């Protein structure tokens, strides 16, 4: 009898410990700081363009929630004081005016038409160009979107809200980003977008600079020359592509570009991360400048 009673107490105690352990593993929902309907997906993120501490519109990754509507999620990320703007990477800020809402949107022939509420026009004069760059570059990263058209209360927006400068009907990467001008003549200009590496403490991201110039050489050569002329640590623009990395040849096809470098591109590069960053900055730069998705980089 005593033996059965002891066994029963042991079983009860064991069950109690199991239940306590389960409560430890699965806390009650009301103890979480995240709303019940918000569920994070591990290691899933979206590329996002937002303003970093030096005032550049930079490319980073933002955690993606388990939601089907990436378009509204990105817009919410980029809206001041929205619930999800807190999920932007450290030191990045949103620029779309607070309380801006998406009335509706449609996608036709890879063009996204977004209809905003009137609060969208409350952007400051200082930030308006950066806001359009941030919004455009973030949304055209999504599969199936090549450009966007912006409407406010059902009217197509064809100018900047403050300066009145005209906007293209369709906004895409040809809009440029963080534009830099080196021109002697307004005719025969070329725009090339070059990605540099930015750093904030231990966090790395990518800063695109669209250079408008009168240079008469192929844009891919301009990109390589620009990356070889850095690092420019004073402005937080870094490149590991030094002058010894010689571009031997390149071939431009309809939907791809092939680059061939000498062996110096990998000579002495024991750090795999640096090697990958060189490849990534080259690939992003060529993709944005030529509007293609495939870049082949060959060594010797």
pLDDT tier, 39 (very low <50, low <70, confident <90, very high otherwise)? very low
More confident residue, 198 or 37: 198
- pLDDT of 165 over the 50 cut: yes
More confident residue, 222 or 32: 222
Residues 259, 297: contact at Cβ < 8 Å?
yes
Mean pLDDT of 142-160: 97
The whole-number average pLDDT for the span 187-208 is: 90
Q: How many CB atoms lie within 10 A of CB 10?
A: 10
Give the model's pLDDT for residue 208. Answer: 96
Which residue did the predictor score with more confidence, 117 or 86?
117
Q: What is the pLDDT of residues 47-85, one digit of tens each?
A: 999 999 899 999 999 988 766 799 999 999 999 999 899
Tens of pLDDT, residue by residue over 209-267, are: 999 999 989 999 999 999 987 555 446 788 888 777 889 999 999 889 999 988 776 65
> Residues 101-148: pLDDT tens digits?
999 999 999 999 999 999 999 999 999 999 999 999 999 999 999 999
Domains of the chain in start order, with CATH, are 40-175 (no CATH), 180-299 (3.30.300.20)
Q: Give the pLDDT band (50/70/90) at residue 27.
A: very low
Contact, 289 vs 208, CB < 8 A? no
Classify the C-alpha dihedral 131-156-149-219 as positive or negative.
Answer: negative
Distance between CA atoms of residues 88 and 226, nearest Å: 29
Q: How far apart are CA 227 and CA 211, in angstroms?
A: 12
Does pLDDT of 28 surpass 50?
no
Counting DSSP H helices and E strands in the chain, the numbers are 5, 12
The answer, as to whether pTM is greater than 0.95, is: no
Q: Residues with Cβ < 8 Å from 268, sequence gap 6 or more?
A: none
Q: State the Cα angle at 293 between 204 and 167, rounded to 5°.
A: 80
- Using 50, 70 and 90 to split pLDDT, how confident is the model at 33? very low
């Amino acid at each position: 009898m005593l033996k059965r009673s002891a066994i029963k107490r042991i079983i009860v105690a064991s069950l109690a410990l199991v239940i306590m352990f389960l409560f430890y593993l699965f806390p009650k929902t009301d103890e979480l700081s995240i709303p019940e309907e918000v569920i994070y997906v591990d290691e899933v993120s979206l590329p996002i363009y937002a303003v970093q501490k030096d005032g550049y519109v930079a490319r980073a990754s933002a955690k993606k929630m388990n939601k089907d509507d990436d378009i509204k999620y990105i817009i919410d990320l980029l809206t001041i004081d929205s619930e999800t703007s807190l999920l932007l990477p450290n030191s990045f800020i949103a620029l779309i005016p607070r309380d801006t809402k998406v009335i509706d949107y449609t996608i036709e022939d890879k063009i996204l038409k977004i209809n905003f509420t009137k609060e969208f026009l409350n952007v400051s004069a200082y930030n308006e160009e950066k806001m359009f760059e941030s919004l455009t570059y973030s949304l055209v990263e999504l599969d199936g979107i090549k450009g966007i058209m912006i409407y406010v209360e059902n009217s197509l927006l064809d100018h900047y809200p403050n300066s009145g400068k005209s906007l293209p009907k369709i906004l895409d990467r040809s809009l440029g980003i963080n534009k830099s001008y080196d021109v002697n003549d307004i005719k025969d200009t070329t725009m090339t977008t070059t990605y540099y590496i930015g750093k904030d403490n231990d966090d790395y991201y990518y800063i695109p600079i669209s250079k408008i110039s009168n240079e008469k050489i192929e844009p891919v050569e301009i990109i390589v020359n620009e990356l070889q002329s850095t690092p420019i640590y004073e402005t937080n623009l870094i490149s590991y592509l030094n002058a010894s990395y010689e571009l031997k040849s390149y071939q431009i096809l309809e939907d791809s570009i092939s680059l061939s470098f000498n062996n110096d591109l990998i000579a002495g590069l024991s750090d795999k991360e640096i090697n990958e960053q060189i490849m990534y900055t080259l690939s992003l730069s060529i993709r944005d400048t030529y509007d293609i998705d495939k870049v082949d980089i060959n060594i010797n």
